[in-house]
Structure 1
Amino acid sequence: MDVLIVGAGAMGTWIGRALDAPVTFADVDADAAAAAAETVPDATAVSLASSDDGEATAIEDRYDLVCLAVPMIHVTDAIAAHADRASEAIIDVSGVMAPALEAMAEHAPDCERVSLHPLFAPERAPGSIAVVRDESGPVTEALLESLDDRGNSLLETTATEHDEAMETVQAATHAAVLSFAIAAKPVPEGFETPIYDQLATLATQMTGGTPRVYADIQETFAGADAVADAATRVADADSAELEALYREATQTWQTADGDSL
């Protein structure tokens, strides 16, 4: 099996390392493609040079498997541009599933089609990987077996379930942490409480990431508005209303025996 990975960033490089197959990296940034290829044994790199009108040039070769590892806001365009390079299978690791799978079905209807979302940063692999098998077959099954053999946990799901979960898991969570990071300030040593400590740790972790990635998530998934609405309710509440909001949250986040989830 030979593989073309479109997108030579952290996630594209991660899946290139995880595959037991010859890999070619393609990226609009030729240096990024070359750098990714250097990290994977026997990998090669090609450049997605731009034409005069700014459109990426299609790659001339065909591959058993094409993997789109591009930012989620660009995945449907990337699938449209490169689906015809796939002779057997096409997958993505963009992080949004419904639009990606719809584009795959449109542009690669005769291919195996799978959407993957590694639920971890590449440097923390292995971990849990959400999987939607839209049209499985021997190529994608071998890919998934390889990921499983490397210690990853495959979470079978649907595109709808995944994308709805990401509204909370990513969009709302990131909005809440970023809002804390903006509104709060570091305090003198000794004043920390356990809850503050945990939020401060999350704020430090998040602000050490890539801003574009977080911006793409907010553009793709709803969830931030719910956080803003909740913050407004808390800010505007009197004592009795605040107690009611606390009880409302308790019903969601406490188990039957009263322990925190």
Structure 2
Amino acid sequence: MAPAKTLLFCALLSLLVLILPSPSAANEGNIFLTGNELLPDEQLSVPRAALVMQKDCNLVLYNEGSGFQSGTSGRATNCTLTLSERGQLIIKKGNGGVVWYSPVTGKLGGYAAILRPDGHVSIYGPSRWISVAPYPIGFFKGQNKSHEAAPGEDQLGTSQSVPNLLFSSQVLERLASRDYSFALTESCNLEFTKASKGNLWASGTAGEGRRHCFARLNYFGQLTVVDDRYNVLWNSSPAGVEGEYVLAVQINGIAAIYGPAIWSTASS
């Protein structure tokens, strides 16, 4: 992007972020879950990108690339955006009629539309694991198996890039959303905590002499705690289909894994 256009884009995006509300009561500004709703002129936003449900009924992604739009400008009034239990973004007009929907459907369940740090929106789901019941502490423990990477995947993975999200191949540092945090302790225990209450959930992997562990989200939807000899101490769930997954820490007190990705503005 040319320097003049870059400055103009940054100015426009900054203005959008300042004047348009985000669905802050529902979640962080980069997460849109099944059951959430974007009203006219509400938005999701990250640095250098914003997804806006405009008053003219057009859903527009502003980013540094080609962006995205639903092409529904002027087709209705009082339009809102929801995310269905089949993983479709749906624009509805004031009387409830459907104006537009994203083209790919998935299995029935809970989904997450994520405004990614690369400026695109991807839909992940259904949810594969959550940090509360019905999954008990240490839901699916490893049997001392070696940690294996997917073909072409770096063994140690990449660094976490977003405070409240962990993507496939990334190694967990610390995820946080409001007063909730999700991190691996020095004793190799994965813990989900709330500032005012303490520990809400744990992997149950703390052990005498255990040190230098790491936790990583793989391309099969598993968050795995691994010791320094690459022995698996704990998996969040059995392996799913190969694809891209995301772990999200949500302000409703849940950490959840969604995936695989079923649709993205990057390919639309």
* TM beyond 0.5: no
Larger Rg: 1
TM-score by length of 2: 0.28
TM-score by length of 1: 0.29
More helix per residue: 1
